Amino acid sequence: MSARVLDSLPADDRLHAVVRVGLHAHGWAGRQGAPGGTPWDADAYGLSGVDGYVQAQPATQSAVLQRCAADQLEEALHIENIGMAYAARMLLGSDTIEERQLYATIAADEALHHAALTPFVPRLEAAGTPAPFLSLLERLVVEGDRATRLLVVQVVLEGWGMDHYRGLARRCADPTLAAVLTRIVDDEARHHGSGVILAPRLPAGDAAVDVLTSFLDMVRVGPQAVLAALIGCVGPMSRPERIAALSQLRTEDHAGAQLLLIRRLLEKAGATAIVAALHSRGRFRPLTAEEAA
């Protein structure tokens, strides 16, 4: 089983029409919006205080913002894709009618989110190795136990997603995309809320600590994708320049806020033993710019 985004039928396949009718029935407004442009400004990525960005030519600055937006939207699309597979796995393991109903509706929501975001995604990576964060998620959905999946995806990821999408919606210059993101926030709040109800009924164990350790390590390094987008457009940077850029991106504050949010989400779901285990592994400490460069 794979949740790869490019496992798609050719555009002229007859199945597309049937899927479209189904999505419309669930409230999909149809294909709206266009890729490209810069839906978010430099402030949204913390780039306005970064020398390497401020000193670049306007065309280069615009390329950096386009790349950051593309990365963000592409990652969101992958997550929605994995979300459909997650809901399907959870649906199959349900013990009650209500759980089946819950996961069937979550699957429909994620299918709709995927369709609504697709027109805005400027490029799709050719099928290859997905980013480590997405590989971790995919592996969890396919191989993880139910309690770990529930805690990591539905409590942590959907809770983090609410916050993330809300910020993106608020700062988005494209009203059509902002409306899509706002709709997603409302749905993710429901998905996350149900996770908070169900997680204490199925407490997660050591496997969740291991998955979350890997996940938090990816958060602790701060806005590496923004740095990579900057380097990709302005050219290579020396280690001191990377340290300066990460420090100007306020990597420690940025990662610290995300780590605190994740910790609160876990506590909200009653996962105090897991929080304690992660804390004793030092996983709620953000890396400094020197460590992250």
Q: Which residues bind Fe ion (CB under 5 A)?
A: 80, 83, 110, 113, 158, 188, 191
Q: What's the closest the beta carbon of residue 193 comes to Fe ion, in angstroms?
A: 11
Q: What's the closest the beta carbon of residue 162 comes to Fe ion, in angstroms?
A: 9
Residues in Cβ contact with 112 at an 8 Å cutoff, skipping those fewer than 6 apart: 23, 26, 27, 28, 187
The smaller minimum CB distance to Fe ion, of residues 169 and 231, is found at 169
The smaller minimum CB distance to Fe ion, of residues 164 and 254, is found at 164
With the CA atoms of 51, 35, 44 and 128 taken in that order, what torsion angle do they form, in degrees rounded to the nearest 10?
Answer: -70
Q: What's the closest the beta carbon of residue 149 comes to Fe ion, in angstroms?
A: 13
- Separation CA 229–CA 64 (nearest Å): 6
- Separation CA 42–CA 52 (nearest Å): 12
The smaller minimum CB distance to Fe ion, of residues 138 and 188, is found at 188
Q: What does the DSSP assignment read for 154-169?
A: IIIIHHHHHHHHHHHH
Q: What's the closest the beta carbon of residue 117 comes to Fe ion, in angstroms?
A: 9
Report which residue type is found at 97: I
The smaller minimum CB distance to Fe ion, of residues 158 and 252, is found at 158
The smaller minimum CB distance to Fe ion, of residues 112 and 277, is found at 112
Structure tokens at 252: 């420690």
Q: What's the closest the beta carbon of residue 43 comes to Fe ion, in angstroms?
A: 25
The smaller minimum CB distance to Fe ion, of residues 110 and 138, is found at 110
Q: What's the closest the beta carbon of residue 153 comes to Fe ion, in angstroms?
A: 8
- Separation CA 262–CA 232 (nearest Å): 30
Structure tokens at 238: 């020396």
Sign of CA dihedral 144, 147, 148, 151: positive
